[in-house]
Structure 1
Amino acid sequence: MAATDCLIFVLGSHNWQQESYFSTGSAMVHELQHKALNDMPGVHCYSLWPSNVLKTPEDRDDYRVIETDHEVPICEGVHPQSSLRFHSLSTDQFSKYMELLVTKCLDFINYIEQKHGKTLDFLMAHHVFNNPAVLAAVNQQRVWDGMKKIPVFAFSHGTGMMMYLNELDNHPEFPLRFYPWVRKAVCLFEDETEIQGVFTLTELQRSRFCNLFPNFPQTRVKLATLGYQQTIFRKLAVPENRNEWSLKWKQVLYEEIDESVLPLNIGNNKPLPDLHSFEHIVVFCSKLDKVKRLELLLTASKNWEADKKSILTLIAGSASKENIKTYVDMAYYDLRLKNTYFIGALMQSELTKLFNLADIVVLPSKMEAFPMVLVEALACGTPVVGIDTWACSSFTAENVGILIKENEDQNQMARDINDNVTKALSENWKKTKSEHCANLALKNFSNPRRVKQLLDCVKEVIGD
């Protein structure tokens, strides 16, 4: 290997997306960064992540899977493959999980360095909780073994910090446990001794991190905006028969639902209606939880259905059993919606078709680390309606959609969504803004561009 080659090891928190095996946003980001880094001349990136289902592939050596005998723990929120929170683990279970991660990292790092005949240039941990602690422990072991310590960076996605904030807010489901552990037991972010730099998605995240860890040098907390996969999310030629794309999509409700009281076209695993029977398609795509505020879109849907507008509303995304029941019941029992359909989580190739079919994509999140869904929709040439929060305001503009002002009156926000969606449809934003949308996404948020910026920041910190 040439002396100028850059050798990188990345530890992820969750599985990469596989056919019919969904993943989280942070894991998708991990995979996209991994691919983009390996596409750069002279850069070699290796990745490791845990799963209780997937296995290490036999035909690739650029990533491995840490095989666990239990679901992979999560900090908070909803995960498509796990409901096991770190707070549910006993002290012994947590210690054994950490030991497993450290052992597997050491094994893979040893293989990588022997293969390339050089020391890794840096290590990257996704999230600001247990993964950076694992890599700090890896360095400790290396020093004990007489080996060189490797610079470590952490990439924050938000859930770790949300877990800490829940602990500090005395949330009943998050007793104070891991924030003191990170600060006092492993001393991760008390200075740059263990972790040399931290990347955050937004300025607000950066501010939160600095408040949580005031002793960590703020000059080493860098902003790293995400990029989207432009080879997947792009404008496509929509087939003349739009139903060709929607044939695979089925309604995803919950097993115990009483379908006898639902409209005839609504039912678990039933097909979608003929797309050509509607003039417009409105799409929501995200996790179904209280942060994403799907209830605002459902209430808005009630308004345009009551006005007899020819609008089909499609809800894509995963949810806990409790949340899917909450939102399905709200849609069909409380609001009596007839033209709104839940279609569950879709693979990225199917999401691209969904965004291309949509006339508008709506994301009414209260908080968003980075609104990747809206960027991916823009890449497909589809205008967006979002909420004017710190995350969304960093990229959207009048020529690609609109941001609605936050309001304590949730009914007013639902009316604002209704008004702006109907305005977008009546003015045919899909036709007039489509090129602007796709160009903005490609210019500002292509994944290779963002990953290069991240790599440049790392080199700046480690002095290369």
Structure 2
Amino acid sequence: MSKKVLVISNMYPTDEHKSFGIFVENQVKALRAHGLKVDVSAIKDPRNGKVHVLRKYLTWFLQTLAILIFKGRQYDVVHAHYVFPSGVLGLLFKKLWKTKLVVTAHGGDIDKMARKNAKIHRWTKEILKQADEVIAVGHELKATIEEEFYVHRNKITLLNMGVNREIFYPMDRQEAKRKLQLMEDKPHLLFVGNLIEQKGLLELFQAVSSLKKENGAVRLSVIGANKDAHFYGVLTRLQKELQLEEDIHFLGVKNQQEVALWMSASDVFVLPSHIEGFGLVALEAMACGTPVVGTNVGGLKYLLAEGAGCIVEVQNPSKLQDGIEKVLHERTFRSQLIEKGLQNAEENDQEKIIDKLLSLYFPTGG
């Protein structure tokens, strides 16, 4: 009889919202491919605003409560993604049915959510204390959980979400550019992520402006969800002020196959985040054979270490520009980044990550 797992997450994608928690869905699919029966209770609506938030969280809570009452006894493991609030629901299964509770901290739940107020901080601490296994996707995140929330290091596993190398793999760059009708002789930069200030887009736009002045034509494609209407307004005004309407293109949300094609077509992938739990999109770019420029923050600095990426100072447009130029113009450096990046992708292949996750779920292999 196959083992049964319930995944609880406050992010999960739909056809309409393709990128919303896609990494959770990827892990669920991989677990099912390994023969596990996996049910999911998740929020699938990324929209904000009081009415939307109240409705979606209430629906999620009631849905999970129904699963707890009518099916809760069936599960061998409950895996909560994001410590708070998902972990609160996970605790109900542990309390009522003694179900094994695994919690994955992704970064924002520790660096931002837990700092909103003292009550959420206490909840976060309690969930981490009660969980049977805690997974941290990045080194600094692991250290914070251990030092600030007093979780014993033996209970914390460093494990990212892994890269699906059946989707993200090297394609011929010129061919990918032709498919996307991009100018083949023009340097092409790519950013993938939510359109929020913490992703460093203001600095990136300023760096692109300087690159254009000093090097001529350059194109930046921006893929991601518009999460903050006010910030999007700031971003588009800056684009206009810097006269970059022809150089920066907002592409909205793309599915993973489309993102992989854009990554393969790009000369440089740029992730200038202010905070970053791990930086999975940077790993996906590496898997496509695209060199990465990223900031010296969180899990990202570990992912890009030892020559796997070009690490630049956070919130510094000038240093960001220097890093991009170095990758574009120094052929040997560029080749080294690509080679080490591909090695990183192989080491963090989703299949290897799933094997480690299964050993956390079922330590005896049962």
TM-score, with length taken from structure 1: 0.70
Q: Does residue 310 of structure 1 match 2:245?
A: no
Give the 3 Å change call, closer, same or farther, for CA 463–44 of structure 1 in structure 2. Answer: closer
Alpha-carbon distance between aligned partners in 2 of 1:431 and 1:299, rounded to the nearest angstrom: 23
The residue aligned with 1:222 is: 157
* Letter paired with 2:230: E
Query: Between Structure 1 and Structure 2, whose CA radius of gyration is higher?
Result: 1
Residue 121 of structure 2 aligns to a residue whose secondary structure is helix
Correspondence for 2:335: 432
Q: What residue number does 2:132 align with?
A: 196
Partner of 1:28: 22
Q: Which residue number in structure 1 is paired with residue 67 of structure 2?
A: 104
In the alignment, is the contact (CA less than 8 A) between 1:12 and 1:47 conserved in 2? Answer: no
Tell me what 1:401 maps to.
309
The equivalent residue for 1:295 is 202
Rounded Cα–Cα distance in structure 2 between residues aligned with 1:342 and 1:402? 24
Kindly provide the CA deviation profile for residues 72-99 of structure 1, in whole angstroms up to 9, marking residues without a partner as x: 5xxxxxxxx2214799759xx9777534
* Gaps in structure 2 of 5+ consecutive residues: none
Alpha-carbon deviations, 1:209-246, whole Å to 9, x = none?
Answer: 234533x4442122112201111111124565835325
Give % identity: 19
Matches within 5 A, 1:218-367: 218-238=153-173, 240=175, 242-246=177-181, 275-276=182-183, 278-319=185-226, 320-332=228-240, 334-337=241-244, 338-367=246-275
The residue type equivalent to 2:321 in the other structure is N
- Residues 341 and 188 of structure 1: is their aligned pair in 2 closer, same or farther, counting only changes over 3 Å? closer
1:45 equivalent in alignment to 2:42: no
Q: Counterpart of 2:324?
A: 421
The alignment status of 1:8 with 2:5, answered yes or no, reads yes
The superposition leaves residues 158-216 of structure 1 with CA deviations (integer Å, 9 ceiling, x where unpaired) of 22223444324xxxxxxx54334556xxx534x44xx21211112221232234533x4
1:373 to 252, 276, 281: 281
Distance 1:374 1:86, change over 3 A: farther
Distance 1:429 1:289, change over 3 A: farther
Q: Which letter maps to 1:152? A: L
Distance 1:463 1:436, change over 3 A: closer
Q: 2:107 matched to which residue of 1? A: 158
Q: In structure 2, do the counterparts of structure 1 residues 180 and 86 end up closer, same or farther at CA, with 3 Å as the change threshold? A: farther
Structure 2 Cα separation of the partners of residues 379 and 368 of structure 1: 19
Cα separation, 1, equivalents of 2:59 and 2:235: 37
SS at match of 1:288: coil
Q: What CA distance in whole angstroms lies between the structure 1 residues aligned with 2:141 and 2:247? A: 38
1:134 equivalenced with 2:89 (yes/no): yes
The alpha-carbon deviation at position 33 of structure 1 amounts to 1.5
Paired residue type of 2:33: D
Deviations 1:356-396 (A, max 9, x none): 11001111111101111111111111001111224123232
Code of the aligned partner of 2:262: L
Q: 1:368 to 1:198 in 2, by over 3 A?
A: same
CA root-mean-square deviation = 3.1
- Maintained 8 Å contact 2:190/2:268: yes
- Give per-residue Cα distances to partners, 1:10-50, cap 9 Å, x unaligned: 222222243x42233xx22221211222222xx41313133
Q: Matched residues in 1 for 2:198 and 2:66: separation? A: 36
Q: Provide the C-alpha distance between the structure 2 equivalents of 1:21 and 1:94, rounded to a whole number of angstroms.
A: 17
Q: Answer whether contact 2:80 2:104 (CA < 8 A) is retained.
A: yes
* Separation of aligned partners in 2, 1:434 and 1:204: 23
Q: Whose helix fraction is larger, Structure 1's or Structure 2's? A: 2
The answer as to whether partners of 2:6 and 2:79 remain within 8 angstroms in 1 is: yes
d(CA) in 2 for partners of 1:205, 1:342: 31
- Give the Cα–Cα distance (whole angstroms) in 1 for the partners of residues 317 and 334 of structure 2: 25
CA contact (8 A) 1:123 1:152 kept: yes
The separation in 2 between residues aligned to 1:449 and 1:201, in whole angstroms, is: 15
Matched residue, 2:48: 83
Give the paired residue count.
Answer: 364
- What SS does structure 1 have at the residue aligned with 2:36? strand
Conserved 8 A contact 2:173-2:266: no
| 1:456/1:313 CA distance change after superposition, 3 Å | same
Contact 1:12–1:131 (CA under 8 A) maintained in structure 2: yes
Instruction: Structure 1 unaligned segments of length 5 or more: list them.
Output: 53-71, 73-80, 114-119, 143-148, 169-175, 247-274
The one-letter code of the counterpart of 1:134 is L
* Paired amino acid for 2:134: V
